[in-house]
Amino acid sequence: MALATLAECKLLLGIPMATTTDDALITWLLTGIIATVNQRFPSKFEAETLTRYYDPTNPRHVQGRQLLLGKPLLTVTTLTNGDTTVITSSYYTKWPFNGPPYYRLILKGSSSYSWTYSTDPEAAISVVGTWGYTTTCPADINQAVVEWVAYEYRKKDAQVFDVTSDPLSGRLFIPEGIPKTVEAKLAQHGRSPL
């Protein structure tokens, strides 16, 4: 899942799909803006499949029967305890119960398992899964990314872009950062990008 595509950006910009002259530039802008959004927001809008590791002796990772994930989890592929035992889903539950995303894996009371390790506790427990806030990019995030790309793209052809002036002092004000409409859409999902 991508936050936005080249085709969506070209559609907003009014560039025919068959015209590829600026595809490299638009793709470059899109890649940078997506990286900025992913870096600056606590909620990952792009899901990724990877392995995360946990220390069963660290209270920030394990509290009783609970494994505290620290990141939003969408699906579990494999849960491996620190003694290399693969724990199947019938022995744990995901929390919150009405998720995803999930933030904890809780060993069931009927389970004989406990969070443990064999040799070293560091990175002993592993969770392979799909991590992120959602598998589908929220529509307003998609729109914000496409609008931001279009804004940056149009700046290349403008002498003075989105500039306001003060007639009394004769000063020009050139805005910094991203358009206010884009910032407002992104800010609804957490930390402001600026």
Kindly state the tokens that stand for 65.
């029967």
Give the pairing of strands 66-80 and 125-131: antiparallel
Confidence (pTM): 0.67
Task: Note every long-range contact of 83-90, with CB atoms under 8 Å and residues 24 or more positions apart, other chains counting.
Answer: 83/116, 83/117, 83/118, 83/124, 84/118, 85/113, 87/111, 87/113
pLDDT computed for residue 132 by the predictor: 87
> pLDDT tens track of the chain, all 194 residues?
588 999 999 999 999 999 999 999 999 999 999 988 888 775 667 788 999 999 999 999 999 999 999 999 999 999 999 999 999 999 999 999 998 999 999 999 999 999 999 999 999 999 999 998 888 888 999 999 999 999 999 988 766 555 666 677 767 665 667 788 888 888 887 654 44
